[in-house]
Structure 1
Amino acid sequence: MQARVRPEALLFDLDGTLFQTETLSVPAYERTFADLRREGLWRGPTPPVERFLGSLGLLLDEIWHNVMPEADAATRRRADELLLQHQLAGLQQGEGRLYPGVPDTLQGLAELGCQLFVASNGLEAYVKGVLEATGIARWFTGAYSAGEYQTASKVELVRLLLSRQGLTSAWMVGDRQSDVEAGKHNGLFVVGCDYGGFHQPDELAEADVVIHSFSQLLPLVRQAH
């Protein structure tokens, strides 16, 4: 475990860390497959939603490969488009919830002088749409997404973020193995989030510390020096 040093910045995953994505994305997923059937691009029942939820945190192409491995590239691209349309429409209709304690914790971290960033494998419009719709965008210095920067992994995205922002001390906060790897490969202290329910038990094994509610993060940062 690394020494716990007060970070100048915290980098957050979005889905499963800040945002209860199932409250938005499960309805959008169901609507996406209804549209794919209507357009003749998919036959049969909607693939199990557990397959989709278990893939969250991966790049979109990897998600669709897991959800519908038999589909061709054009169908997967159309699924990308439809899912985003339904997610953004859902946000406008008030769908989607943050995890308990997120706004208060972000406010507290900002008051400590920490810069806050999002590092997500999602699409740019989705990531920024969630931050705006949930009212937490004001606490973030920047939102980095694989969709905007076309990065091939979370490791690469975090490296880009650190370089562009000139950061020398940061913590990575996330719920999936990709977040742990992104932090470790970039020399960051890693906080694993064990409350979203999307990860396998061993995915957070290499995190420096694991929290069981988002509100536990602020005391950790306050105690670091």
Structure 2
Amino acid sequence: MVQSFIFDMDGTLFQTNKILEISLEDAFNQLRSRNEWDKETPIDKYREIMGVPLPKVWEALLPDHSLEVRERTDAYFLKRLVEHIKSGNGALYPNVKEIFRYLTENNCSIYIASNGLTEYLRAIVNYYHLDHWVTETFSIQQIESFNKSDLVKKILEKYGITYGAVVGDRLSDINAAKDNGLIAIGCKFDFAQENELSQADIIIDDLIELKSIVKGTKTRA
């Protein structure tokens, strides 16, 4: 039986799409107010690269802008994300709290490993009281390499985990599982891509399906 579950945050536990577009629009409106952007907000481009660390996001969205502009935009974007979370504009995916409750009742430990920044993750965990079930939340900021596989390795080493699963929607989550000898569970949610999910060991359409995995009835993708 899988006894340790390491969850991604964006696109897996938290419906980032509910605050993503408005926060990105806020950030690019600030750029427009400074005459540093005169095109449409590249929301589609962001959806394509969703799941990568924010510094990489701004390299992709603002390739011709200076590091100073990228960092300023990043800081403002993070500020708006947190404000939208605290205002209740976001939402968890269906059954997050139910599956967390079920996992803890069945002696499973829960961790979060995210490419999101610490302040952003803390806002989500606090607003939805996820720390009631989650042992610890880990941000990519804690890893010098900014590599999710290394972040998951850090969790395994800290808590002595030898058997478990990584639950996420993107290739970085699947690779983090495989690189660390864990089961890769792909979530077919908003930002998921078929070519990436095909590399997962198991694919789920709803988090509640994790109940069957805990029970040992593993449904292969």
Name the TM-score class by shorter chain: over 0.9
Match of 2:113 in 1: 119
Map Cα deviations across residues 138-173 of structure 1 (whole Å, 9 max, x no partner). Answer: 110000011244442111111111111221111110
CA distance in 1, matches of 2:215, 2:48: 33
Map Cα deviations across residues 82-108 of structure 1 (whole Å, 9 max, x no partner). Answer: 111001111121110111111111110
CA RMSD of aligned residues (A): 1.5
CA distance in 2, matches of 1:45, 1:209: 40
**Residue 204 of structure 1, aligned match among 189, 194, 197:** 197
Match of 1:52 in 2: 46
Match of 1:16 in 2: 11
Displacement after TM superposition at 1:46 (Å): 3.6
2:171, 2:197 within 8 Å by CA — same for their partners in 1? yes
| 2:216 equivalent to 1:223 | yes
2:102, 2:211 within 8 Å by CA — same for their partners in 1? yes
1:84, 1:126 within 8 Å by CA — same for their partners in 2? yes
Match of 2:23 in 1: 28
Identity of counterpart residues, as a percentage?
A: 31
1:162, 1:168 within 8 Å by CA — same for their partners in 2? yes
Match of 1:155 in 2: 149
Name structure 1 gaps, 5 residues minimum: 1-5
CA distance in 1, matches of 2:196, 2:206: 17
CA distance in 2, matches of 1:222, 1:39: 56
Residue correspondences, number: 218
Matches within 5 A, 1:125-136: 125-136=119-130
The farther-off stretch of 175-184 and 146-155 is 146-155
Map Cα deviations across residues 118-156 of structure 1 (whole Å, 9 max, x no partner). Answer: 000110011121111123221100000112444421111
CA distance in 2, matches of 1:209, 1:145: 24
1:64, 1:76 within 8 Å by CA — same for their partners in 2? yes
TM-score, normalised by the number of residues in structure 2: 0.93
Matches within 5 A, 1:76-155: 76-155=70-149
Match of 1:189 in 2: 183
CA distance in 2, matches of 1:91, 1:189: 31
1:30, 1:46 within 8 Å by CA — same for their partners in 2? no
**Residue 58 of structure 2, aligned match among 36, 52, 64:** 64
1:123, 1:148 within 8 Å by CA — same for their partners in 2? no
TM-score, normalised by the number of residues in structure 1: 0.91
CA distance in 2, matches of 1:224, 1:122: 32
3-state DSSP class of the match of 2:146?
A: coil
CA distance in 2, matches of 1:206, 1:92: 35
Match of 1:43 in 2: 37
**Residue 170 of structure 2, aligned match among 176, 181, 190:** 176
